[in-house]
Structure 1
């Protein structure tokens, strides 16, 4: 499991910069849940990592601000019974988070006005709907 994480073509997190902690899980495990350390906490120091390019670091720190503690991103995985599967799940989750945080911002939307035809269709549909509802007024004379 000591292999580098490939996040994007330009961002590869070395295995040496990841730290793992193991503890007892509260999840599935049967009788072994109280003896096996299957819960995994994977930590990555995003703020001081030399593997992260500077232009990506600022973007990622801003996007992951609510998940960071002193610049360190921590992922916990305890949904599986085995430590190995939880380690894989934590790594996959970390890659997904970092990839989403490193993605370029979407292009700015240029505001446009609705077309004349779309305005007319909207008004015509409103009038049809009003007539339908007008027939529902329960006037009993």
Structure 2
């Protein structure tokens, strides 16, 4: 993955932000929407594209475009930086390879400890019983 080329392929669009905010929110376009065409990207390899498409299926539309947005700040520039940082973090997370889990067996000592605690609990509960029955 070439991050410099990746950042050049991003497309930004500023739109009006939703929610409360009064006059400022009603007249300025502070929400930033980021679009990234995963399938036609030159910054990532075919293997990486497949991994991204598989891991981020919920965020990628039918045309193969990843869309993200940010409206946390009142500043368009700050929102652009936030959405870019989120995008890079999401891509890096999707490309990270997960280590396979190694199966392990419990040790002999842990088995004995478990059985002793079960025995102790059993004796404690049996001592609570009514002796007349």
Check whether TM > 0.5.
yes
Per-residue deviation, 1:98: 0.3
Deviations along 1:32-72, whole A, 9 cap, x unmatched?
A: 01011001101111111011122212111111122101211
CA distance in 2, matches of 1:59, 1:119: 41
Number of the residue aligned with 1:7: none
Structure 2 unpaired stretches of 5+ = none
Q: Flag the 1:29–1:131 CA change in 2: closer, same or farther, 3 A.
A: same
CA distance in 2, matches of 1:130, 1:30: 66
Aligned with 2:58: secondary structure? helix
Aligned with 2:98: secondary structure? coil
Q: CA RMSD in A?
A: 1.9
Which of the pair is proportionally richer in strand? 1
Q: Flag the 1:128–1:46 CA change in 2: closer, same or farther, 3 A.
A: same
Q: Flag the 1:103–1:11 CA change in 2: closer, same or farther, 3 A.
A: farther
Per-residue deviation, 1:81: 1.0
Q: Do structure 1's residue 105 and structure 2's residue 98 form an aligned pair?
A: yes
TM-score for both structures, normalised by structure 2: 0.86
